[in-house]
Structure 1
């Protein structure tokens, strides 16, 4: 009975290890797929959520930020456009992308309607976006996170990128280099995933053999 109990416990341990490995490698694969995802050139609308550590902050952030934002994709560059309302007491708008402050352009400002639109460059579509705004009556900055809901992404206007005949040759060469680099990066990424999975499975098998060997001697 004791041996049976030990075998059951070992099986539970092995199943737990396999489950953890599948979660880890599954998440890594999804992250890589998201990173490699490309959008065609155009202007997109996307809904957003906000995050602040307090409920009051969440409510304020939601009232300030327009619920729909835009992404402007031009080949390799992705620009984000966010709008604010009730800005009569706001100043010094700042944006952080992936925890680094970036330059933002004040695209529109309506002093009568008290609205402002900011445009800034993203590293990629999964970049973390934070805003900082100085609010006069509060005498301090208000900070919150902007979370694009990528499942609501909608193309509203395609952008045709003009190609100059004089630069066609250079662009072809650049494209070849990009494709080759991309293939190399993908191959490296696939090799890493395969290596990690192989190591994980090898560890599980070795553990199983060792544990069963120990039990068989008892």
Structure 2
């Protein structure tokens, strides 16, 4: 069953010169989770932050840290991000040789496990792991950079995964990341998403606009 919509602002679009303040501001503005995009310049064409930054940000909010690992090989870094304060750790099937083993390790660390699907990665990749995970993240852009346009073909994938989750009967979060704004948020929700990641659309206009921006996305 589709759950109430939650907003997970991506700090990729925050002011990195005052990241702690930005995290506190989006917390106070009504963010449900804090989305942390981790990129290695190898699995995706960009380089962002590591466990040390996650650890430094942890005291600034009690909201769940929704950590999306766009790194390969990913297994070597699971423990470090768990220890740094991640609450949800999401990985890509292509980022390691044994997805099921990766999921098992995340769960053994006491964290919620997510699997992310790139635009060309089919929903079928979830067939034998869906019942083991807590979250599915559908990328509605090709990962690596913020500010990209929503790829509308991913709406069919969201719909297909929504059906899989409902058939399973387990409360698995269905998250969408990429090009989510005031226009596309409703399309994603109508397709079955219940968690929206938004960077540019959340942080646009500065802290005085964050609450309004989050409210628009929530619908």
TM-score, normalisation: structure 1: 0.21
**Bigger fraction of residues in helix:** 1
TM-score, normalisation: structure 2: 0.21
- Max radius of gyration: which structure? 1
